[in-house]
Structure 1
Amino acid sequence: MVVASDADMVASAYVDGQLGPREAGQEDTLTVIELPLSFDDMSPTIGTAPAPNSVTGPPAVLAVDADGTRAYVIETLGQRGPEAQTLSDLPPGNTIRAYDLTDGSAPRLLFTGTAGHMPQAVSLHPDGQLLALAGGDVFSLAGPRAEPSLRLLTVEADRFGDDFVLEPLSDDGEPIVPSYVEWHPNGELVAACFPWRDEVRLFAAHRSPELRLEPLGRPIRTGKFPFAGRFTPDGRHFITTDVQWGQDVEGVYGKPADGQLSVLRIAAAAGTGEKIGDASVGRSPEGLAISPDGRHVVTSNLRMSFRPWNDPQLDRQSSLSLLTFDPASGRLETVAEELIDGLLPEGPAFDADGKFVVVTVFDHLDLAHRRGGLRFFEVTQDDAQPQLRPTLYSLEVMRGAHTLVVV
């Protein structure tokens, strides 16, 4: 398991802009936890490395290769300087870093590169040699110019190589800002989410005769504010997290309606897609995971856990939503919502067998010890109806945990 933590920020900065108190030993961190976990009295092998990153985008700042030997981390906002007190004091970021995970107990920085203005999401090609990045100031945190981009960046043994940058445009020629990008399982195209336009767009990725991205088909309509998404394992569908944020919501995301998922059927060969269904989930479903067999879906729902601790609207618990999915028909059905202790759960993931779900917890309501964590849940089958049951297991990691990859 590989986890990115943003220790510069506290959860309530979304509402009041305050970064929170400085604490000795708290820094943006990449945490590597070796699998399998023994669940006995033996402590797991855990390694850490400094890794500047930001929680302001979707939980997609981290990509890991299939062997679990190399990780890539993007930096959306720059690091907190000695005088910085508010979110607006942080400079825009533009950096991507490569880490060696060969020794999980001692991950190390390999090299750095340019990721464009305020990268929001990174996705690694199935062959591990090409990165796709979505960038731009989605929430106008750094100024009036969004500077949106979709970028391809090659990966070599000891450096980043060639890159290609596309400025995504609307039909009338105006720049539009992506929040998320992901490779299709066939490695020939990417999907990008454009939350302010309630749409997903597909792009073909070419490596010869030169590196480039080519827009495909028409925009695919989704629900309101598709912040992120996931391809199903067979590549036939793309599911978006429609968080219901927007200019008509208090503080853009301060008090939205319950979340929704949109199911898009993708014709990869034609480069087209259409929305075929949706389902309701908990409020502000930032994180999304799909089981390896494609039959279960989990969202991690912020609810109102990002409100200041003295705010009467604060949700003292967040939640996970469990859904079933039919890979053949694309039918998505909500099963249940499970409350969990902890603030801002963003990064859920299934294990390799699809029997367990682990989710990041950004912080806890603990005045003495602010910390991040991982919580574990079991997917069980009860009277033909799956259930998401909390286990007794948890792991503490650096405060600000938000993006998780299991390999």
Structure 2
Amino acid sequence: MKKQNLTIALSMLAGAAFAQQAPIQFAAKGIVAVSDADMAASALVDGNLYKDKGTRDALTLIQFPLNRNGQNINTALVSNSMTLSDKTIAITNNGKLAFVLEGRGQVSDSLPSLKNGIADFPATNAMFVVDLSGAKPAVKFKFPTGPSLSAVTLNPQGSTMLVASNDAGKEIKIIDIDATGKPTRVLVAASPTQGQQITDLVFHPGGQFAAYTIGATGEVGLLKYAIDEKTKKPYVIAHGKPVKVGAMPGSGKFTPDGSFFIIPDGKKALGAGGTGAGEVFVVQFSTEDTAGEHKIVAQAATPEAPEAVAVSPDGSMVAVVSAGQSYAPFGTAGAGKSTVGIYSLAKDGKLTLGNEYPFEGVLPQSVEFDRDGSAIAVAVSEYLDYGNRNGGIEFWTVTKGDKPALAKQPGRVALTRGAHALRVIY
């Protein structure tokens, strides 16, 4: 009898344990993460790389549901650079292909510190095409796309990408691709602002326009993407005049219906003195056949150094991750202290802060919602850890409403250090 009671008790205990929620709740098929392993975030201040011998840049494919032993987390070696933040990657809507700009090449394990800043990392012109269709990501091939690459965006159909470079007079590359990701045609166009490099490109959800950012002038504008009726070749042309969005605009996102473009402004480059409080702007582009006035419809304050934004699938919320001075050398007061904020976004574009949440992590540069807006994921470059240093993905549960809120989830995914870009496979 006692043995029978024990069996029943163990069975009930097991049932209760299995009924508990997993430490990570995120509604998606997967997440693709990119890590720049040989660039310590604090090198932006003191130049020290703190490289571990043999650690290499990576692309990680995380597939849900997660397995505690990591069987659903697999990596491929893909050279990349955190200087491109989360603008370094685009994936097809079906989640089968990823396109990764190298931006800057890797340096040898024997180089302990930077003497010439970022210039010590060799500039490259390569794009990697990565197969995500299997359990493990695999690099299919790479091809040249132009010097000093800064951003890539893929149209909703997955047939054409736009790539920004500093190739004088050819700053925009228009690359048609086939179903395997191979380029079938490469065309070029000049920057809408003569002589100025585009620092961000984002296709509009409709595919007929793309937003561009000029970091040097602090402006965002709109390109019209079209097909020439006679030659059948695609082209881009400026559509209306750009608008000023601060001094150091980052990477932006359209709302799902394309009504607004959300972009953070960090005010100045990351460095020893910090950047001061930032802002996030809501821009309304004119997409009429004859361009009207593009305008800022709202803006809101953010903590120091806003790095990236995400818009919920229903367009009602905006998440902003801010680095503060988390990238400072260990021992500095602000080192390892970052913030994520959640805002409501009204139909007229007005932003209202729900709340801000400090968390431990160095230089977060990417944030994404899951498919139903119930959770967000944040890429963290590394932590205030000594010895083996890893990056990671942190997760928050979202409470929706007029004043949205976040609750930190207890679990996280460990990544190769230098994690700086995420894309969600829905």
TM-score (norm 1): 0.89
**Contact 2:126 2:146 survives alignment (8 Å):** yes
User: Please, which moves more after superposition, 87-96 or 342-351?
Assistant: 87-96
Based on CA coordinates, which of the two structures has the bigger radius of gyration? 2
Q: Which of 192, 197, 201 in structure 2 is aligned with 1:181?
A: 201
**Contact 1:202 1:216 survives alignment (8 Å):** yes
**Contact 1:377 1:391 survives alignment (8 Å):** yes
Q: Which of 330, 354, 364 in structure 1 is aligned with 2:373?
A: 354
When the two chains are superposed, the root-mean-square deviation of aligned CA atoms in Å is 2.1
**Contact 2:222 2:285 survives alignment (8 Å):** no
User: Aligned residue for 1:274?
Assistant: 295
Q: Does residue 193 in structure 1 map to residue 213 in structure 2?
A: yes
Quote how far apart the aligned CAs of 1:98 are: 0.7
Q: Does residue 152 in structure 1 map to residue 174 in structure 2?
A: yes
Unaligned runs of 5+ in 1: 137-144
Relative to its length, the structure with more strand (as a share) is 1
Q: Which of 14, 27, 30 in structure 1 is aligned with 2:59?
A: 30
**Contact 2:35 2:57 survives alignment (8 Å):** yes
Alpha-carbon separation, structure 2, partners of 1:107 and 1:207: 33
Q: What amino acid maps onto 2:151 in structure 1?
A: A
Q: Which of 221, 227, 238 in structure 1 is aligned with 2:250?
A: 227
Quote how far apart the aligned CAs of 1:3 are: 0.3
User: Aligned residue for 2:18?
Assistant: none
Relative to its length, the structure with more helix (as a share) is 2
Alpha-carbon separation, structure 2, partners of 1:245 and 1:107: 36
Q: Deviations over 1:182-223 (max 9, x none)?
A: 000110111111122121021111233223211111112212
Q: Does residue 378 in structure 1 map to residue 397 in structure 2?
A: yes
Alpha-carbon separation, structure 1, partners of 2:77 and 2:207: 30
Q: Deviations over 1:356-404 (max 9, x none)?
A: 001111001111220011111001148x532111011111011111100
User: Aligned residue for 1:66?
Assistant: 93
Percent of paired sites with the same residue: 29
Alpha-carbon separation, structure 1, partners of 2:81 and 2:234: 28
**Contact 1:236 1:267 survives alignment (8 Å):** no
Q: What amino acid maps onto 1:93 in structure 2?
A: T
Q: Deviations over 1:254-308 (max 9, x none)?
A: 4212110111112222445211110111211111110000111111111101111
Quote how far apart the aligned CAs of 1:167 are: 2.6
1:101-116 alignment to 2 at 5 Å? 101-103=132-134, 105-116=135-146
Alpha-carbon separation, structure 1, partners of 2:174 and 2:138: 24
Alpha-carbon separation, structure 2, partners of 1:99 and 1:369: 27
Quote how far apart the aligned CAs of 1:22 are: 3.1
**Contact 1:223 1:242 survives alignment (8 Å):** yes
4+ residue runs over 4 A deviation: 41-44, 145-148
User: Aligned residue for 2:277?
Assistant: 258
Q: Does residue 93 in structure 1 map to residue 124 in structure 2?
A: yes
How many equivalent residue pairs? 385
Q: What amino acid maps onto 1:4 in structure 2?
A: V
Alpha-carbon separation, structure 2, partners of 1:43 and 1:78: 28
**Contact 1:148 1:178 survives alignment (8 Å):** no
TM-score (norm 2): 0.85
User: Aligned residue for 1:308?
Assistant: 329
User: Aligned residue for 2:238?
Assistant: 215
Alpha-carbon separation, structure 2, partners of 1:308 and 1:189: 41
Unaligned runs of 5+ in 2: 1-30
Change (3 A) 1:355 1:217: same
Quote how far apart the aligned CAs of 1:21 are: 2.5
Change (3 A) 1:110 1:207: farther
Alpha-carbon separation, structure 2, partners of 1:9 and 1:385: 37
